[in-house]
Chains A and B, each alone.
Chain A
Amino acid sequence: MANLNIDSVKARTYDAIVIGSGMAGGWAAKELTGKGLKTLVVERGRDVQHIKDYPTTNMMPWEFPHGGALPLDVKEANPVVSRCYAFREDAMHFFVKDAEHPYVQEKPFDWIRGYQVGGKSLMWARQTQRWSSFDFEGPARDGFAVDWPIRYQDVAPWYSYVEKFAGISGHADGLAELPDGEFLPAYPLNAVEDYFRQQVKQKYPGRHVISARCAHLSKPNPVHYEQGRVQCQNRVLCQRGCPFGGYFSSNSTTLPWAQKSGLLTLKPNQVVQSILYDEQQQRATGIRVVDTHTKATTEYYARIVFVNAGALNTNLLLLNSTSHRFPQGLGNDNGLMGKFVGFHNYSARISAEYDGAKDLTTDGRNPAGGGYIPRFRNVFKQETNFLRGYAAGLEAHRGLDHTEHAIGNGFKDSILHPKFGPWTVGSHMMGETIPKETNYVRLDPTRKDEWGMPLLNISVAYDDNDAKMKQDYFDQFSEMFTQAGFTNIKTQDSGQAPGLDIHEMGGVRMGRDPKTSLLNEWNQLHACPNVFVTDGACMTSTSTQNPSLTYMALTARAVDYAVKAAARGGVV
């Protein structure tokens, strides 16, 4: 532009810019517009509007050409995303295909992504547990990573704030290791999950089986109706997008709310290449984006930038935002950006059968999925030969069986009139991993994608602590299942690579000291305080809880701080 048009710059200037429209970005948009800021949200993927853009949501099972299964050519073309449990015929269109967005696996890492408005909030598993004091105090107590600059008390009111709006079902269990929240009624445990709860209560003091807490409207409040959402209808087809708004997503909840303010501009199909830094003002001034279709680049400007691109993409973008002042990436004075990446170890499962409760089954479907067992290892003190611990899911199910080795009339009869089989019980481990400098992401030195972004190299692996923890999970759960009288107990080590947990975190961690962390207690880059990072990239440690609820709370908290500070004419 030889003749820079001042009006054009004005038209591209907002009060705040949010990069990404997923779990965290949706919240940033809602909070910023709610506080009167003219806000631009840029999203690299296509637009997905609530209800209108859920093409499979009301399809019957027989309407899918392959009964829900993946065609072989799709699997072969997409070995990474095909390993994701939710990448099936009904929701394939919400996942990034391997070839579309390549990355470099320095070590095996299944990077599961959803590039669209709403991001992965559309297809997430909707489990929402608060962190506890034990989680925020973990690194300091156990001597890894750096101390979190915040404690549970700092986040608790923001948990309450986001829970009331999002709608979280759960039961007040009164556990220090899993604080209660602002709950809608919990989904009850079924007969065998409840039986196991009682068994554990009797035989294992300090261990608890509770109803999984999830972002479903079991009984909506007025605010949820105001959002245009109604009670969850127990379809459990959530990954397709929910026409009832029964679960929380950016698409159903935060983005439409932000839209109603009249202050939101949402631009899909925009890949952010870099955040612009002004040496004179010593602040970020905006972003440079490339349109995914036209490849045209544009700059947008704002006083406040929220980076919510998704944990690893937030690392990629910041590392790529270089300037004379920040040659290693925006805010990366200490060279630690991209390092100390953590994740959750989901590679262990256990299954069994239960011969009791024969006169009972379930009716309808449970959107919470069943039970949740909060971390019970090394909570109050270090008691094992590994650091930290694991939470676990618990599900019991009564299946219908037909005759196996038969053919003809009798076989058909057994299919038309199946018998109830035994209850099957399953659990999966959700293990905390220790963020380490050797688990990192970095920019590929040579290769770029078609939008001019360097490919992301990912070098993340399990360690010895993970192996010991997994063995403990197998041992403890085998014993607990045996004690409960379950039979046919089978442990299963999936051998899956990191990443398939879809809980990658860190790389731009929070901390008190700019020498050892990138973000301060308000999620501001120490060295560039008008840039906030509130997605998974900010996480100093990983704990065992599903992280989305914490991203929501940290985002709302950071926006509140940013807007107040701006009003004071302060650091932002």
Chain B
Amino acid sequence: MNRRTALKTFALVAGAAALLPACSHPPAELPASVPLRHLAVNARQEKTLAEVCETILPKTDTPGAKDLSVHLYVLKMLDDCSSPDEQRAFQAGLGQLDEAAQQRHAQPFLGCSPAQRLALLQGVEQGKGFPSDLVSFYKTAKRLTVSGYTGSKYFLTQQIVYELVPSRYNGYFPIKDVNLSKSHHGQS
């Protein structure tokens, strides 16, 4: 199989997936894949959240949010560290996301194409015309997606490398000598 054929096949499969009815996604009756004490998030909502995180930080030539299971970090932080108010708004906003997707693209968020998802969340990012819980959900999801991604082992070993033992301090370090992809870039 040459590269072009492979891409075509991939496009077909991807297209088919997009056409499949919503019931091919995890059913709402199933619980989330991780234990949650406060949030009531089912398997389908978990998948929706994963796609929200992926839309915020998509896979490119580097891993996307989904590759790093950032959505599970988002759920854990919300469940363990957030206030009941923030948890309630998050849950409500997660539900409103599907309503907004239905209104604009006539299907739930999971049924939308990546481009439709991006367009929808870009709208929420602007904040205009969306319910406040949806905006709050998105802001929380975005903040935690960023901290989950930049706090991940991948990011801190492959991108901006965390140094546990720097063994040095230079208060006059030329920015031109900073190379964030090197382990001794000095910035963490």
CB contact list, B63-79 vs A, under 8 A: 64, 73, 76-77
Is residue B9 contacting chain A, with contact meaning CB distance below 8 A? no
A409 touches B (CB below 8 Å): yes
Contact of B171 among A193, A409, A413 (CB under 8 A): A193
CB neighbours of A234 from chain B (8 A)? 165-169
Number of A positions contacting B (CB below 8 A): 49
**A363 and B173 contact, Cβ closer than 8 Å, known pairs A235-B164, A407-B142:** yes
Taking CB as reference atom, which chain A residue is nearest B63?
Answer: A412
Residues of A within 8 A of B80 (CB): 65-66, 71-73
Bound-state Cα–Cα, A409 to B58, Å: 6
How many residue pairs link A and B with beta carbons under 8 A? The number is 130
Nearest-neighbour CB distance to chain B for A244, whole angstroms, equals 9
Q: Is B97 among interface residues, defined by CB-CB distance under 8 A?
A: no
Complex: A71 Cα to B82 Cα, angstroms: 8
Known: A67-B147, A407-B142, A420-B175. A364 touches B169 (CB 8 A): yes
Is A365 among interface residues, defined by CB-CB distance under 8 A? yes
Selected contact of B156 from candidates A62, A187, A358, A402, CB within 8 Å: A62
Within 8 A of A (CB), among B138-188: 142, 146-153, 156, 159-160, 162-176, 178, 180, 186-187
A407 touching B56, Cβ below 8 Å: yes
Please tell me if A233 contacts chain B, counting CB pairs below 8 Å: yes
Q: Does A366 contact B (CB under 8 A)?
A: yes
Q: Is B83 an interface residue (CB 8 A)?
A: yes
The answer to whether A60 and B164 touch across the interface, beta carbons within 8 angstroms, is yes
Q: Does B122 contact A (CB under 8 A)?
A: yes
Closest chain B residue, CB of each to CB of A237? B164
Q: Provide the bound-state CA to CA distance between A413 and B56, in Å.
A: 11
B171 touches A366 (CB 8 A): yes
Contact of B57 among A187, A233, A358, A411 (CB under 8 A): A411
User: Scoring A residues 393 to 406 as 1 if CB is less than 8 Å from chain B, else 0, what string do you get?
Assistant: 00000001010011
Would you give the 0/1 interface string for A338-382, flagging 1 where the beta carbon is closer than 8 Å to chain B? 000000000000000000001111111111000000000000000
- Do A407 and B166 form a contact, CB below 8 Å, given A66-B77, A361-B187, A366-B171? no
Docked Cα-Cα span, A193 to B172, in Å, equals 10
Tell me which residues across on chain B come within 8 A of A501, comparing CB atoms. none
Could you say which residues of chain B place their CB within 8 Å of the CB of A366?
169, 171
Which of A67, A402, A409, A420 makes the CB contact (< 8 A) with B77? A67
From A194, A360, A415, B175 is in contact (CB under 8 Å) with: A360
Q: Name the B residues within 8 Å of A411 (CB-CB).
A: 56-57
* Residue from A189, A367, A407 in contact with B55 in the complex, judged by beta carbons closer than 8 Å: A407
Cβ contact within 8 Å between A187 and B169: yes
Residues from chain B with a CB closer than 8 A to the CB of A276 are none
Q: Which of A61, A65, A193, A405 contacts B162 (CB 8 A)?
A: A61
Any chain B CB within 8 A of the CB of A70? yes
The residue that B125 contacts in the complex, of A69, A190, A367, A407, with Cβ under 8 A, is A407
Hey, which chain A residues are within 8 Å of B175, CB to CB? 358-361, 420
Interface of chain B: mostly helix, strand, loop or mixed: mixed
Alpha-carbon separation in the docked complex, A415 to B60 (Å): 13
Contacts of A408 in B (CB 8 A): 55-56, 58, 118, 122
Interface residue A220 (Cβ < 8 Å from any Cβ of B):
no
Q: Mark A176-193, 1 if CB is under 8 A from B, else 0.
A: 000000000001111101
Check if A405 sits within 8 Å of B125, measured CB to CB: yes
CA distance A13 to B180 in the complex (A): 61
Q: Does A416 lie within 8 Å of B159, measured CB to CB?
A: yes
Q: Given A67-B77, A67-B151, A412-B60 in contact, is the A365-B173 Cβ separation under 8 Å?
A: no
Asked whether any CB of chain B lies closer than 8 Å to the CB of A58, the reply is yes
CA distance in complex: A365, B166 (Å): 7
* CB-defined contacts of A468 to chain B, threshold 8 Å: none
Once the chains bind, are A364 and B186 in contact (CB under 8 Å)? yes
CA distance A233 to B166 in the complex (A): 6
Identity of the chain B residue whose Cβ is nearest the Cβ of A413 in the assembled complex? B60
* Assembly CA distance A344 to B55 (angstroms): 49
Are A71 and B81 touching (Cβ within 8 A)?
A: yes
Complex Cα–Cα for A233 and B167 (A)? 4
- Kindly list chain A residues whose C-beta atoms are within 8 Å of the C-beta of B81: 66, 69-72
Q: Is the pair B164, A412 in contact by a Cβ cutoff of 8 Å?
A: no
Confirm or deny: B121 has a beta carbon within 8 angstroms of a beta carbon on chain A: yes
Contact at A62–B173, with CB atoms within 8 Å? no
Of residues 404 to 449 in A, which have CB atoms within 8 Å of B's CB atoms? 405-409, 411-413, 415-418, 420
Residues of A near B173 (CB, < 8 A) are: 360-363
Q: How far is the CA of A21 from the CA of B87 in the complex (A)?
A: 43
Point out the residues of chain A lying under 8 angstroms from B150, CB to CB: 415
Task: Report the separation of the CA atoms of residues A528 and B169 in the bound assembly, to the nearest whole angstrom.
Answer: 50
> Is A360 touching B187 in the complex (CB atoms < 8 A)?
no
User: A405 — which chain B residues lie within 8 A by C-beta?
Assistant: 125
Chain B residue at smallest Cβ distance from A64: B151
One digit per residue, 1 when the CB lies within 8 angstroms of any chain B CB and 0 when it does not, for chain A 218-239 equals: 0000000000000101110100
Known: A72-B80, A362-B171, A420-B175. 4 other contacts (CB 8 A): A65-B80, A362-B186, A366-B169, A367-B169
Q: List 24 A-B contacts (CB under 8 A).
A: A61-B162, A65-B80, A67-B148, A69-B77, A71-B80, A71-B81, A235-B164, A235-B165, A360-B172, A362-B171, A363-B187, A364-B170, A364-B186, A367-B169, A406-B125, A407-B56, A407-B121, A408-B118, A408-B122, A411-B56, A411-B57, A412-B62, A412-B64, A415-B57
